[in-house]
Amino acid sequence: MFTSFYEWAFQQHGVLRIVNATHKLVSSGEKLDEYVVETLLEYSITVQELNKNGKWTPYIADDLQLELERLTIFGRVTYNQTSNGVYTARFFSPDFIGTYGLRTRYRKIGYTPLDHQMKIIIRPRRHNDYDRFIFGAWPYYLTAFIMMGMVYVLVFALLNQIPPKEKSS
């Protein structure tokens, strides 16, 4: 018991680190400076453990979580292990714009705590990102075209009215 505590205290056992933290779009695989609201993102990290020989080896765990936070925790996603020591989490970006932190906090007895954070920016959609014709708005489109047609009918009626005949006395 004392030797395991001694090894942990002097960082000879249970030392963890995070390397290669990346975020990207799932659809295209590209890393952007700003992401649009409600898009599917992927965040990947590699967790390594220092063994007794002084070499970094992959750390295997099933309880790592990614926290998406603004001022408080906005959401939590459990990482999926894809290969040795590489963990990925997929999530939809929030529908609120702002700067978010992607934070990995891991505290386990017998291991050094992990606390890694990366910032991402979520922006609103641009005006040309929306559909040009929204099918749910057909009553408004129909009303606009009817009003334009009525203006043409009114102008035609005013321009082609027959002047009243003068009364002869």
Domain boundaries, the chain: 1-123
The C-alpha atoms of residue 165 and residue 169 are separated, in whole angstroms, by 12
pTM: predicted TM-score of the whole model, two decimal places: 0.73
DSSP conformation class of 64: -
Side-chain-side CA neighbours of residue 60 (13 Å): 2
Q: 119 φ, ψ to 5°?
A: -95, 140
End-to-end CA distance of the chain: 128
The C-alpha atoms of residue 115 and residue 129 are separated, in whole angstroms, by 36
Residue pLDDT, tens place only, 93-120: 999 999 999 999 999 988 899 999 999 9
Amino acid, res. 136: G
Q: What is the pLDDT of residue 110?
A: 83
The C-alpha atoms of residue 47 and residue 15 are separated, in whole angstroms, by 10
Residue pLDDT, tens place only, 3-15: 776 666 666 678 9
Right CATH number for 1-123 from 2.60.40.1930, 3.40.30.10, 2.40.50.140, 1.10.4080.10? 2.60.40.1930
